[in-house]
Structure 1
Amino acid sequence: MAPPLGNDKGSIGRGFSRRSLMAGAAAIGAAGTLAATTGCSRVSNADSKKGGDLLERLKAQGTVKLGIAGEQPYSYIDKHGELTGSSPAIARIIFKRLGVPNVQPMPTEFNSLVPGLNSQQFDVVAAGMYLTPERCEQVLFADPEYQMPDALIVRKGNPKNLHNYEDIKKAGAKFATGTGYAEIEYAEEVGIKESEMLLLPDQLAGLLAVEQGRADVFAGTAVTVRNVVHQTKTRKAEYTKQFVPKLDGKPDLGTGGFAFRPAERNLRDAFNDELLKMKKSGELLRVMKPYGFLEEEMTDITAKERCQ
């Protein structure tokens, strides 16, 4: 989640309150409305050059537009109206090295990220988006920065003894997760119908739903779940031990990364080259660690491997 002040300064888990998280959510909503009403004016002409010429155009402009969805700690607007999160922190470093010194946030709903990217409302999705087969057919992914198990938010003491999706199904517990989250598919894998789910905008809404008894459990990525519980200092809820969900009967450790338009292979490849350097030097972990990521959550898997 957001550092206290400034450009990605400070450590995650310091100086946060429920009020600050709600303020950040309000800021993202307001900015998202602005993006939606002005997006058409930002549409650029599609290039026909092999591999795309977007990188050259971004260098000339000096600014890259980042599609974000307000999910902490991946990318969001904090209570001071500043862009923060692990993805913007990575984007600032890589794009500066590519000759693009400025980043501009373009907030939208998670489900609108891929359509917004492909309609050229922004240049890249910087939201820690999971690589899935369906998304791999629609966008061009950079190699993932992280791999992530899931975890659950439950009431204090975990009265229903919920530790994974099978437990939730068996107990008939009221299940909640985020709109567009991969956790929807993981829950469907064990027989929980989407029509039975409570779909919420983010993990803070999930925590509140559990606290208020509107849901028995909220599922999200382990980093998102543990961060919101720590930062709100809730006394009514807790997070469970992380676990690896299943998809198509096999363990599925989600991986997240940046997404580009399919025509912009040159930009994606240049981005990947810089990302690989950050991985090899350990810089990527140093950048992501303040946002709650752990060393064991880093990954060397490629987008090609994941998409296959």
Structure 2
Amino acid sequence: MAPRQERTRHSTSPPRGLARRSLLAGAVALGAAGAVGVTSGCSRVATADAGDGGRLLEQLRAKGSVRIGLAGEQPFSYIGKDGKMTGAAPAIAKRIFRELGVEDVQPFPTEFGSLITGLNSLQFDTVAAGMYINPARCEQVIFADPEYQMLDAFLVRKGNPKNLRTYQDIADSGASMATGVGYAQIEYAKAAGIKKVTTLPDQLAGLLAVEQGRVDVFIGTAVTVRNVVKETRSAKVEATEEVTPIMDGKPVIDVGGFAFRTPETALRDAFNRELHKLKRTGELLEIMRPFGFTKDQMTTITAKEKCKP
């Protein structure tokens, strides 16, 4: 996992097209949903101590519900304006867990940097947040095969006055950059020689920071960046074309998937079987399409490949 960063606090006002009431409603819903997850009475007991692949799936079927950790990042997983869980990952979770005999999918919202800690401390049963798969995270959790692949994009002022189209452009120009707490883009920025990276809670805070001139560019996944511009209808900010990060001189194509506690291989394997059925039939794309994903984001890369150092 990318190193945890401290949040930068700013006084902000909501952009045109996204009312303050909506933001406050979402915040209240997020807190309420989190409280439900904490007090649901579910037993926090590890189920795979014997190294047998675990009995968590059996337990989930018996109680008829599964708790999923999500992180409030559109379009991956978040609480909508109506207070309900939504996003590509929860939609996939509902479909797959229904096939596994678990009808009720309960959200457990938290910040992105706390997802793995929350999973391993038994606060929820799986991470459903489109989490990028990389070797550092593979040392802490096990991943299902990814449901998507993704490049980055930049949020910049309208017209892109500093002509920022690559990470190297940011480093060479001395432009000020921000990204999300715990995002992989922090490491990509460091690899490009960008000296100072500001971290913000989410892509909406990033858009506000660019609009108000506090940073020159906010970096996120291409789908996330395009989505926040579309949702806010900002007249001051635009999304760039897709950007390929470079690490150790090689281009990086990130992939994201569901994470499970390391001993729970039986649940992970059952999830994988259903995921691959959705891939073969094309249903996976149809589930994800309403959230801005296209055929270009579909992938055959495996978690095993991305876990290699």
- Distance change (3 Å), C-alpha of 1:130 and 1:24: farther
Distance 2:78 2:121 in 1: 21
Partner in structure 2 of residue 34 of structure 1: 35
Q: Does the aligned pair in 2 maintain the 1:68–1:76 contact within 8 Å?
A: yes
Distance 2:93 2:134 in 1: 21
Q: Does the aligned pair in 1 maintain the 2:155–2:225 contact within 8 Å?
A: yes
Give runs of aligned pairs for residues 285-300 of structure 1, distance below 5 A: 285-300=285-300
RMSD: 1.9
Partner in structure 1 of residue 241 of structure 2: 241
- Distance change (3 Å), C-alpha of 1:151 and 1:119: same
Partner in structure 2 of residue 222 of structure 1: 222
Give runs of aligned pairs for residues 2-151 of structure 1, distance below 5 A: 17-19=17-19, 22-23=23-24, 25-27=26-28, 29-31=30-32, 34=35, 38=39, 42-49=43-50, 50-151=52-153
Per-residue Cα deviation, 1:83-131 (whole angstroms, up to 9, x for no partner): 0000000000000000000100001111110011011100000000000
Report the TM-score, using the length of structure 1 for normalisation. Answer: 0.90
| Divergent runs of 4+, >6 A | none
Report the TM-score, using the length of structure 2 for normalisation. Answer: 0.90
Partner in structure 2 of residue 201 of structure 1: 201
Partner in structure 2 of residue 303 of structure 1: 303
SS at match of 1:18: coil
Corresponding letter in the other structure for 2:163: N
**By how many angstroms is 1:53 displaced?**
0.6
Per-residue Cα deviation, 1:136-170 (whole angstroms, up to 9, x for no partner): 11100000000001000000111000011100111
Corresponding letter in the other structure for 1:73: P
Corresponding letter in the other structure for 2:117: P
Distance 2:102 2:37 in 1: 24
Partner in structure 1 of residue 6 of structure 2: none
**By how many angstroms is 1:32 displaced?**
6.7
SS at match of 2:161: coil
Q: Does the aligned pair in 1 maintain the 2:30–2:79 contact within 8 Å?
A: no
Corresponding letter in the other structure for 2:27: A
Distance 2:290 2:140 in 1: 31
Q: Does the aligned pair in 2 maintain the 1:24–1:76 contact within 8 Å?
A: no
Q: What fraction of aligned residue pairs are identical, expressed as a percent? A: 58
Matched, 1:283 2:283: yes
- Distance change (3 Å), C-alpha of 1:192 and 1:98: same
Give runs of aligned pairs for residues 229-268 of structure 1, distance below 5 A: 229-268=229-268
Matched, 1:178 2:180: yes
Distance 1:35 1:156 in 2: 41
**Which segments of 5 or more consecutive residues in structure 1 lack a partner in the other structure?**
1-15
Distance 1:24 1:173 in 2: 34
